[in-house]
Amino acid sequence: MKCLVIQPIHEEGLQTLRTGGVEPVMCPAPDMRTVAAHVGDCDAVITRDAGFSAAALAAAPRLRAIVVHGTGTDPVDIDAATARGVLVCNTPGANAQSVAEMTLGLALSAARGIPAGDRRERAGQKGYRESGRFTELHGKTALVVGWGSIGARVGRLLHAALGMEILIHSPVCDDDFGFARIASLDEGLARADLVSLHAPLTAQTRGMISGPSLAAIKPGAILVNTARAGLVDEAALARALADGRVRAAALDVYSAEAPTGQLAAFPDRVIFTPHLGGTTEDSLARVAIAAAGHVLTACAGGIPATTINRPQERVMP
């Protein structure tokens, strides 16, 4: 059996496949035209943010499973996979600690203007510390939007490390750890000094941070997004930064044009990082091993525990 690896994964994941009797096939490029040209005799695929399209599915008659290396399944055409009898699963939680630590780092960096301070010093520009308004996070209020494995870890980190009051806005909450749940997003935004996004991207959550919601945000709040770019209306965020309603934003996910678009007008108040949240050696190994394990389960005729669809069985060629 073969598994097409659309984007590079940790060697421990590749070795897990080999040990289980599945040959990893490395895709030379992650675009769907190239994927379709290489997936024909594969029984499974592992993809990251490249996703997997209906056109690629049409070129994969043997495919049993599409495994997402990470949490977000929105780049995968799940309806097309379900119609063709292909399982779609992900690896939630395996990168939670790394993303949570990244979120904490971004929150502190935004509050204290660390990246801008570094740039100014390297450029020999003095006076930065007198030019801005910086803030502590200790004892203040954080709104965590999305209380899955990452969001819950972030909330506990912020509370334990900085003594922050934690508000939860999430339709799913297995354990609130004694923190307050807020049914209304606007109510939470009005109370929070720090807003941290950890919701999946769905039809309901797309653009949830928009003009109306930013109008409700507490003046001077900090926004951190380590979840999905589509959660934030970037033009509305730029307006909120311009009028001072949002103090700073730290974005690990954003549109391709964001670093040179409207948000580029705020170099001292907007931090861009290239989707580094889960990119640690520790996390990459855990996620790759989990993804490979799902491939082995599917290739053996089983259903991985994190399968998000339930396609009808079909006769494999």
- Residues serving a catalytic function are 228, 257, 275
Rounded distance between C-alpha atoms, residue 79 and residue 88, angstroms: 10
Rounded distance between C-alpha atoms, residue 59 and residue 88, angstroms: 17
Residue 223 backbone phi and psi in degrees, to 5 = -110, 130
Rounded distance between C-alpha atoms, residue 13 and residue 247, angstroms: 41
Rounded distance between C-alpha atoms, residue 203 and residue 159, angstroms: 31
Rounded distance between C-alpha atoms, residue 6 and residue 184, angstroms: 39
Query: What is the Cα gyration radius of the chain?
Result: 21
Whether 166 and 155 have beta carbons less than 8 Å apart is answered as yes
Whether 22 and 1 have beta carbons less than 8 Å apart is answered as yes
What is the DSSP-derived secondary structure letter of residue 139?
Answer: T
Which H or E run includes 290? Answer: helix 281-299
> How open is the CA angle 31-35-36, to the nearest 5 degrees?
120
DSSP conformation letters of 32-97: HHHHHHH-TT-SEEEESTT-B-HHHHHT-TT--EEEESSS--TTB-HHHHHHTT-EEE--TTTTHH
Work out the number of other CB atoms within 10 angstroms of the CB of residue 118.
12
